Structure 1
């Protein structure tokens, strides 16, 4: 069976950056499972998986536009230290969820200098080409229950 919309798909992957540094991997874990065509993984990877079958192994490079997007400089801001009440040891790399006019937003602290904190609302992988090494481990029709819930259920049925 080939990967197509409304199929439950599972695959192992290793994600690296341009220098070959591993960013994420399913090694030592269960394969990643998703419902194809529902937008649960980055667009470029989903497009590359389309039409493949169990056992297929390949590499794919996903450009920022089809990954986590391009970087937007306007999403980097300097805010006062007081914007983080109750956080004693504020450090670069810390992530917080805040609110803006569009709703909730995730930000990463990139620097702390005196009373000024630089935050970045870009996805941490925005602007980067994603290099995936994948191996398809499962392809089947998604069940009606999985389609209603929007995710793949575990071996033997519902596992929440």
Structure 2
């Protein structure tokens, strides 16, 4: 039977959990996740986990921080004055926004704190700093 190798287009079902058992994402009730194995389209640990699997195989993998979304980077936490926000916007904790840099790159940020006239924005991935556990089922190799 065929095994996954780099360059194969694969379909997988998965459940992503934190080490405390809470589920942060799942393909349950949705179409399988499709990606090309070994091309960096998913986090490194997930990519490596599907290698050599065969259709129908199931496994649970523990993915350490370094092979998931990396460690939190405090340089990606910034304070901005409320006055820099559009006049019709009231910044609130938990709001997700898009920011741009001088090179024209756009990236997501989350408001984590509002203190008077200052707002704290965090550009770290929400799962940065977390070890992850995935239950993976290889549906097909195309």
* Coarse TM-score class (shorter-chain normalised): over 0.9
Structure 1: any 5+ residue segments left out of the alignment? 141-160
Q: CA deviation at 1:89?
A: 3.2
Equivalent of 2:139, from 122, 137, 140? 137
**Structure 2 SS opposite 1:117:** strand
Aligned equivalent of 1:71: 72
Q: Matched residues in 2 for 1:48 and 1:6: separation?
A: 14
**Structure-2 residue corresponding to 1:152:** none
Shift of the alpha carbon at 1:82? 2.1
Aligned-pair distance for 1:5? 1.4
- Distance in 1, matches of 2:61 and 2:7, equals 22
Structure 1 runs (4+) deviating above 3 angstroms are none
Contact in 1 for aligned 2:38/2:48 (Cα 8 Å): no
Q: Secondary structure at the match of 1:46?
A: helix
TM-score by length of 2: 0.92
- Structural mapping, 1:119-138, within 5 Å: 119-138=121-140
Once the two structures are superposed, the pairs formed by residues 43-122 of structure 1 within 5 Å of their partners are 43-102=44-103, 103-122=105-124
* C-alpha RMSD of matched pairs (Å): 1.3
- Cα distance in 2, alignment partners of residues 73 and 16 from structure 1: 24
CA–CA separation in structure 2 for the residues paired with 1:87 and 1:20? 40
| Distance apart, 1:139 and its partner CA | 0.9
The offset of 1:87, in angstroms, is 4.8
User: Which residues of structure 2 form unaligned runs of 5+?
Assistant: none
